[in-house]
Chain A
Amino acid sequence: MKRFRRHGQESQRERIKQELYGFNKTVEHGFPHQPSALGFSPSLQLLAIGTRSGAIKLYGGPGVEFMGLHDENAAVTQVHFLPHQVELVTLLDDNSLHMWTLRAHHGVSELLEIGRFTLTGPPGAPPSVTCVTAVLAHSSGDLLLLGTEGGHVFVVKVPGFRELEERNISLEKVTNSVPEEYGGRRILEHVESLQENPVNQRQVLIGYGRGLMVIWDLDSQSAIKHIPATQQLESVWWTEDGGHVLSSHSDGSYCRWKVAGDDPQSEQEKSEVPYGHFPCKAISKIIQLPTEQGPPFLFLSGGMPRASYGDRHCISVIHSKTHVALDFTSRIIDFFVIRDGPGHTGEPSALVVLVEEELVVIDLQTEGWPVIQTPYLVPLHCSAITCSHHVSAIPLKLWERVLSAGALQNTHYSKKPWPMTGGQNLAPDPPQRDLLLTGHEDGTVRFWDASGVCLYPMYKLSTAGVFLTDSDPNDNLNQGTEGEWPPFRKVGCFDPYSDDPRLGIQKIHLCKYSGYLTVAGTAGQILVLELNDEAAEQTVEATVADLLQGQEGFRWKGHTRLEVREEPVTFPPGFQPFALVQCQPPAVVTALTLHSEWKLVTFGTSHGFGLYDYQQKNNVLVRCTLNPSDQLAMEGPLSRVKSIKKSLRQSFRRIRRSRVSLRKHHVNNAAKLQQANARLEAELAEMELAPVQRKIEPRSPDDSFTGLVRTLYFADTFLSDSSHNTPSLWAGTNGGSVFAYQLRLPPVECRGEDPVTAHPAKEIQLMHRAPVVGILVLDGHGSPLPEPLEVAHDLARSPDMQGSHSLLVISEEQFKVFTLPKVSAKMKLKLTAIDGSRVRRVGVAWFGSNRTDDYGESGLTVLTNQGDLHVVSLPGVKLQVQYPCIRREDVSGIASCVFTKHGQGFYLISPSEFERFSLSARCVVEPRSLVEVPSQTPSATLPRALPDGASVERRNSTRDGVAVLQEIQKSLEVDQTTFLENGTSALARGKVLSNGD
């Protein structure tokens, strides 16, 4: 009987688990790592990016995103949309072609691979015969022309990939139709370019690597004209009227050829080397577009003088008298131009450039050609991400203030709406306003709107202004001087250099109710900032916290403290620093917590921890946790291994400085630095793997870094007796120690004068000595204590102070619950002893049921060093579910993971991309969008000029991203009480919550 009943309970629990938990990787935020190809469909208004790892990503209007992954682990080299279709073709570097389509399923489009194809040559032919170098998706929508390395053009019927052998254009057919006098029958080399005549779709231009171009008639199967260029061909553009062909060449020249008329040989009208005199690099792509009245727009990529500017990544835009060389931050992958008008044949409106590290969109219709801020594909890594912090359910007031502070920073952006408008975003509005804060190596903190599918930049805070750094004034090489040639203009924001690595942000804590923010960095600096809507001049006073507390025999071998500016500094509206603590020794801050109600900040390093009163601006407590025998902790943040990296970094910086002085651009070094770093990292990984044996010994108190403070926690709980709750501070170390201090706060009326005091109350040494990664106090109901000010803002139920509280100590190896105030063990969950995994990240989350709105549970979200996600129940500390999430080899991905309070999370899948995942069955943010087939079929004669039925997709086209966000907020004002920790309020929304734009 008993067994049966128990079985029933278990199955009921299983059902509840299914209602609470569900694992999904939903969307990738940021910029794709190592993009390798760009495609654009004017009719769908979608852009496609292929990557070196074989991913294909489609983006339309904000929120419209699709992602696919090729099974082959090969780089995507070309992406072509079939004109006026929802299909696209990708070419991989293993020479395979893949057909993808957007298929509607339950009202939402999905990106699916529907076919693959590899050219097969005649038996015995060398592989070069079928190695595809050029692809033309013919405007008829059912033909694909494939030019190959062997010089042949194969014709394939799509979407089924059926070879039309009789229509192939072999090299022999072409050479026979070209007059013999042309170069004495030189080898034509590979097919470099295939272009369709804009006014006659039966004519195709074949450009060969050696320079010759042939206009081929698909109906008569013969060459009707040839263009006798002699320079190595890079790209070809057929002007819109069909009358001219532009060719660009490897020597930095471009030529214009007249192709109208009956003469079988075209005449060269013009040949120019735009950055001439000295040898130039190749012009890799050329586009010319007409304007209604006046001269056309000409776009050229590359062509820079080889010796002096060969390392720049430039696109030159020439229109009438205006000539600008847009100078990008990294290698140009590809670019295209968006045109106005229903048929996308009007004025050029925006230039879209994909470079290796970012996507840049230039507004061509506003004076000065400003940049349009991208609502997605943002380069998260413009300076390397060093930490992240997520805050759920931001109050509207704070949200608006952050937005307006951010708006003042973005005045240099174009006011034009985002020009990419494809698809319909069907996702419901996000249930709440969520902020993701990323700390960066250059000392900036960036605020992102993480409510929905688009990770939208809101505001950027720089902490560097507080300190004196050796930043080079020459670094401002932004604008070229008047009359400089080439006329460079720097665009893009990717800048991987940090002038002083000590500025790097390591920990962030934002109180969403009070607007107080604290950030801590690599050189032991802790800044407390408050949100101010006005610019203000302030002197930031520094307080030193001596964490060694007289421990002798130590000599800090790491970096020095940052020097603080003594004169007042003007801070722009936004978060402005008003207090600074500097740890001594200036080791990296490893733990940081803010209590805005008590006006206290606590911080920890590898030497100890401190408590700072930011109202009175003094230290309340400084505690050394250093083991006297731990010399390694004094070595400084850069161990021997890392110092190689440091010296590399420094040497690259030196190179860069010297280049800067030569008025050269430094970005090429970025690639070099990254390469060197990658190589070094691979070597380090190998070094670590080399001793393939592991020592089996219990942890010892004499291990290194036992004193490193891993976690800090404030709680109002029963520390000394069970009848009076008092404020308390808890600290956990790497050596498995927990320190608890009882805090005495003066009454509010004398908070400014009377001192805050801290008294040691308890010390716990976990016998297994594993690092303590989390401390949590559970109230009488077993619920985690609410955040500071949460109850005061009526956003959480007050904690139960009647029943006895308990203390949950989470170490890397186990979860252990103790009673309070007398600390004795109550329950525990061993993780490492069972499966050998260790806790890397832990968070507290509220899981709502997806079946009923009024049921939910608190739980711990846990990420292990094996890359598995677990949910652990509270207060019973039982494993609930487990999902594999990150490869265990991806150490940086695991280290970057951050959890939200509602069972979601983010981790870096590359330096520039966050993967968003959800453990909650109720709370899922994922793209839901629909792309419809253009309704009208193209005409036979003027495909480019045809309006297509993309009106549905353009529904959102006039909406500016910021305006849209504001709309969301307004619509959400009523929803403030949604998603409370205690979950008592009902969520009157759908079960899948996704965002809209």
Chain B
Amino acid sequence: TRPAQHKSGLLYSPECNRVSYKFSPVKSLFWSGEKGFHLLFLLSCVSEEVDYSSYGTHSLTRKKKAVVALRNDVNRKRPHIRIGMPQDFRPVSSIIDVDILPESHRRVRLYRHGSDKPLGFYIRDGTSVRVTPHGLEKVPGIFISRMVPGGLAESTGLLAVNDEVLEVNGIEVTGKTLDQVTDMMIANSHNLIVTVKPVNQRNNVVRASRISGSSGQSSDSSGSTGYPSLSTTAMATGADELESDEESDIVIESTPPPAPVEHPSPPTRPLSPSLNGLSHHGTLRESNDSLHKILSTMRTDPRHSLALPRGGVEEDGTVITL
């Protein structure tokens, strides 16, 4: 997780009045120059030919979350330019909220988005040491125990074995069991935001505003995370947050034959699916009578969510600016 050594590009964002230095194609370092220094590692897993047009946005109100979008070169030769939400941008796994977190903490967003990669990590129970006014105190904690080689967590390098998990999508895990944290992570797996205290504190970002005060080795003196929480859109809010519903369900409607029925068709008659919004896809064959098959064809399509009936392109908490 070291920053790359070689500069390979420089970007300028006129709206944000922001300069971004771009490093190696695999790992990029963004530097927000306006409202305090803000380092952002972008780790993407796409090929080297990708044309980066990346932006780091930052706002203190945290209404919109920092986002980095990548243009997928496969879709670059589009015949027309669409106004509205660009479909060829997609968020990737990243470190977010660097400016509001203590330096010893890291908030990581693991974004699968059509990738076939598994999230690829395991968690375990463990003991964490906290600094209290009475001295060191051992408290139970949740830690990353294992990485699956080639998984998202390992290949992005954002998480490491023995990192302590502090939050899942903005909800503190203190007092929760391993099973509860597991279930929370799985329930958020489409857009998993994990706040960790990395076991290796050497690579911590050092913020200019704090450089004078403390070294990079900041210790977490309070048991709980005393900094602003995730913005509401990024959090797994309970109530009707459908406008940012990334996980649209698939609905297959079929019209039953008109009544009255002369010859009752066998109950197992294959569905002739008219998929909402999926019909233009062309990948569906008439023979697909089971949802499993439909879904498995869809899973191989990395952009399947674009074709989903509703909210498919509205990513959770994501704002893409051109």
Contacts and interface: CB of A to CB of B under 8 A. Distances in A.
Contacts of B268: 549, 622-624
B7 interface: no
Contact of B122 (A696, A825, A838): A696
B65 to A, nearest CB: 17
A549 B125 CA distance: 45
Contacts of A865: 179
A697 B242 CA distance: 24
Interface residues of A, number: 63
Interface stretch (B130-138, B201-209, B289-297): B289-297
Interface string B256-277: 1101110011011101010000
A878 B239 contact: yes
A186 interface: no
A766 B249 contact: yes
Given A693-B145, A833-B169, A836-B183, A765 B189 contact: no
Interface in B210-233: none
A694 interface: yes
Given A694-B124, A836-B180, A866-B180, A759 B265 contact: yes
B188 A833 contact: yes
Contacts of A827: 239-240, 242
A621 B269 CA distance: 10
A696 B254 contact: no
A882 interface: no
A720 B256 contact: yes
Given A692-B178, A698-B112, A737 B238 contact: no
A179 interface: no
B128 interface: no
A837 B171 CA distance: 13
A41 to B, nearest CB: 46
A828 B241 CA distance: 7
A879 B237 CA distance: 12
Contacts of B264: 755, 757
A830 B254 contact: no
Contact of A696 (B180, B185, B253, B255): B185
Given A692-B178, A762-B252, A764-B251, A699 B295 contact: no
A662 interface: no
Interface in A436-478: none
Interface residues of B, number: 66
Contact of A835 (B120, B184, B251, B273): B184
Interface string A815-827: 0100000111111
Interface of B: 112, 118-125, 145-146, 168-169, 171, 176-190, 192, 236-242, 245, 247-257, 259-261, 264-265, 267-269, 271, 273, 291-292, 295-296, 299, 309-310
Q: Tell which of B273, B292, B310 has the most Cβ of chain A within 10 Å.
A: B292
A397 interface: no
Contact of B249 (A624, A764, A822): A764
B248 A761 contact: no
Q: Tell which of B124, B183, B259, B291 has the most Cβ of chain A within 10 Å.
A: B183
Nearest to B247: A767
B113 to A, nearest CB: 12
A692 B124 contact: yes
Contacts of A866: 180
A823 B250 CA distance: 10
A879 B187 contact: no
Contacts of B123: 693-694, 696
A698 B239 contact: no
Contacts of B236: 830, 833-834
Interface string A829-843: 111111111100000
A63 B145 CA distance: 55
A768 interface: yes
Contacts of B180: 835-837, 866
Q: Tell which of A549, A695, A701 has the most Cβ of chain B within 10 Å.
A: A695
A218 to B, nearest CB: 58
Nearest to B181: A836
Contacts of B192: 696
B315 to A, nearest CB: 14
A759 B265 CA distance: 8
B240 A828 contact: yes
A790 to B, nearest CB: 26
A767 B179 contact: no
Nearest to B242: A825
A830 B187 contact: yes
